[in-house]
Each structure stands twice: as structure tokens, then as C-alpha cells.
A and B are shown apart, each in its own frame.
Chain A
Amino acid sequence: MTNDLFTGMGNLPLLSADLWPAWVAGGAIGLFAFAQRWLTDQPLGCSAAFGNVCARAGSRLPLFQGDAHSPATDWKIWFLVGIFLGGLFASVSTGTWAAPAHFGAFYDALMPQTTLGRIAWWLFGGVLIGMGARMAGGCTSGHTINGVAMGSPASMVASMLFFAAALGTAHLAQFLLKLSGGAA
């Protein structure tokens, strides 16, 4: 028996277990998002950094020339670099780094079976994600984790629509897969 504070956690080694109980992981993310605002007064967000990437890559489009994507906000890009390193550390510490990607039965059945087809699928999905996040002014981190927690009406609407569209897409896709006799 360990004398951990987390009842129900048993002997789960927190640093190397590859999946934490939902309330531990969620609580830590909620604490983290607030701690970042307490320390820096900057709200959590991920998708605006891609506008900075466009500007730094040489785009002269006016959308990327404003204050939101100025060189003074390039910490947004460094935040994403940090997320990359965090994922690397998480994966290395469980010994699962670069394990073959496992998409699950649903995506395996839904995605095209050829490599080229999958590349096109991921590129198309990425374009939808990038366009949608920029048009909506944020993504799941900025609108949902951050905006809903501070009671922002626009973020609540955006988050409901994120989930509605994702649920609708998944259920429609599953329905079509069943019609066509695929397994999901």
C-alpha cells in the first residue's frame, strides 16, 4: 500500500502510467490552464500559433500582420514546440515512443486503405481543422478548456458546435459504414 492521496488510484505510478484516471488528468489540465493565466495573464490557446507560422513563413496576408500574430506573440509557436516535447517525454517515459499508430476500428474502417488515400484524408481533415479554428477564433483548448471555464458565451456556443459537428460526423460515418457492410 502506498500512502497516496488519491483514493482509488491504488499503486498507479503517475509518471509512467500511459493513461491517468480521467479525473486526475482532467483536474491537472484544469489546474494547469489556470496556473498559466495566474503566472502570465495569458489564456490557454493553441490554434492562433498557426497564424504566426504563416506570417513567419513569409505570408504577407493582412490577417497575419495584426497584433494577434506579431513577432512579439511568437511564444505561441514556442508553446506548440513545448507540446511536441511534452508528448515526446510522455511517450519515451512509458517506452511506447514511435509505436505504430493505432487508430481503432472506427478510423481503420473509415479512412482510405491506401497510403496515398490516407495522406489525402489527413491533409483534407487538417485543412478543415485549420480553417475552422481560425474562423471560430480558437479550438478545443482556447474555446473549450479556457473559454467555457471562464463562462464566455461565444466559447460556449463554439464548443457546443465543435462537439455537435464531431458527433454528427462520427455517427453519420458509422451509419454509412454499416450500410456499406464495413465493420466499425
Chain B
Amino acid sequence: MNNPSPIIRNGSFLLFGIVFGFLLSRAGATDPALISSLLLFQNLHLLWVIGTAVGVGAVLNLSAKIFHWRNLSNGQLISFPHKPFVRALIPGALLFGTGWGLTGVCPGTAPAMLGEGQWFVGVILMGIVLGTWLVGLAHHKQLKRIAKIDRHPSEIHPR
């Protein structure tokens, strides 16, 4: 956004979140039983939800690209920030899918489920914060390891 005050920016995203949470709930994405029946091919409702969402999004994105639509916040062309390929993407995506399959919950639906009064999701949210922190810890250890390797030549050739 074009640097609006933090209150306006945070307030806008609070409103966006309310819309998204409401839609996730109405879509059935906050129902673990419906998630498991998607994963076991018993009821494909959520597949059609995701498929329609991606399809509508793809048509709008293509239109925005072809017709050079501008965003409303600063009048620039709408950007298409692709997420990068990182080495951890493959193991990360597999871990994520496993956790999603074991619980029927994902980071976006979790707060909506808590709002619906599905209290058990509070434990999952704590797990998500802990898991996020563990990645931060592993990243920190990796940085320290790299720093050690970088120091190595000066240890071989001391002045």
C-alpha cells in the first residue's frame, strides 16, 4: 500500500481478514470432516471450491496482465510477485501437507475455526507458532555454521 498510516493499513487488513474468514467458513474449509473426505476422495466439494477460486483468480490475473490494470493504492500496474524456489520448498511442502492431512487444519483456516468456537484449534495454533520458531532456530544455526566455514581460511593461514 502507498504508505498509509499503520492504523488504516492494519484496519483494512482486519476487514479483509473478516471477509476471508467468513468465506472460508461458508466454503466448508473450516470443517475437518470435509477436509478428510476430500483427501479420501469421498466428497470433492472442497476441490471444486479451490478449483473455482484458482480459476476465477487466473482469469482475473490474465486480464490484469493483458489490459494493464492498475492497483488502487498507488496507481501502479498490479504486480505479480512470484514466490521464489528455495531449497527448503520441497521438504517444507511435504511436511506441511503431512500436518494438514493429520489434522485437517491449515494456517489460514485455523483462526477462523477458533472464531467458530472449535477450541481444539488453539493447540494447533500454538504448534504452528512453535514450528515457525523452530525453522527460525534452524536458520540461525545454519548461519552460524556458514560463518564458521567463512572464518576457516584465516585459521589455516594465521598472520
Contact residues of B between 51 and 78, Cβ < 8 Å to A? 51-58, 60-61, 64, 69, 71-74, 76, 78
Q: Of B32, B94, B95, B98, which one neighbours A107 at CB under 8 angstroms?
A: B32
- Cα(A34)–Cα(B58), bound, Å: 9
List of A residues within 8 angstroms of B93 by Cβ: 132, 135-136, 143, 157-159, 161-162, 165
Among A97, A98, A103, which residue has the most Cβ atoms of chain B within 10 A?
A: A103
Pair B113/A143 contact, Cβ less than 8 Å: no
Pair A85/B21 contact, Cβ less than 8 Å: yes
Pair A76/B13 contact, Cβ less than 8 Å: yes
List of B residues within 8 angstroms of A182 by Cβ: none
Which applies to chain B's interface (DSSP): helix, strand, loop or mixed? helix
Asked if A82 CB lies within 8 Å of chain B CBs, one says yes
Closest partner residue, chain B, to A37 (CB atom)? B78
Pair B33/A104 contact, Cβ less than 8 Å: yes
Pair B112/A22 contact, Cβ less than 8 Å: no
Pair B117/A41 contact, Cβ less than 8 Å: no
Q: Of A22, A50, A137, A149, which one neighbours B49 at CB under 8 angstroms?
A: A22
List of A residues within 8 angstroms of B27 by Cβ: 19-20, 22, 25-26, 29
Which 6 A-B pairs have CB atoms at the shortest separation, nearest pair first? A126-B127, A82-B17, A86-B21, A130-B131, A135-B92, A165-B97
What residues make up the interface of A, taking CB atoms closer than 8 Å to B? Answer: 17-20, 22-23, 25-34, 36-44, 46-47, 49-51, 53-54, 57, 59, 61-64, 72, 74-76, 78-91, 96-99, 101-107, 110, 118-119, 121-155, 157-159, 161-171, 173-174
A-B contact pairs, 20 of them (CB 8 A): A25-B52, A29-B53, A54-B129, A63-B140, A84-B21, A89-B115, A101-B120, A102-B32, A103-B36, A121-B102, A123-B126, A125-B103, A129-B95, A130-B131, A130-B132, A158-B89, A162-B93, A162-B100, A165-B100, A173-B102
What residues make up the interface of B, taking CB atoms closer than 8 Å to A? Answer: 1, 6, 9-28, 30-34, 36-37, 39-40, 45-46, 48-58, 60-61, 64, 69, 71-74, 76, 78-86, 88-108, 111-121, 123-137, 139-140, 143
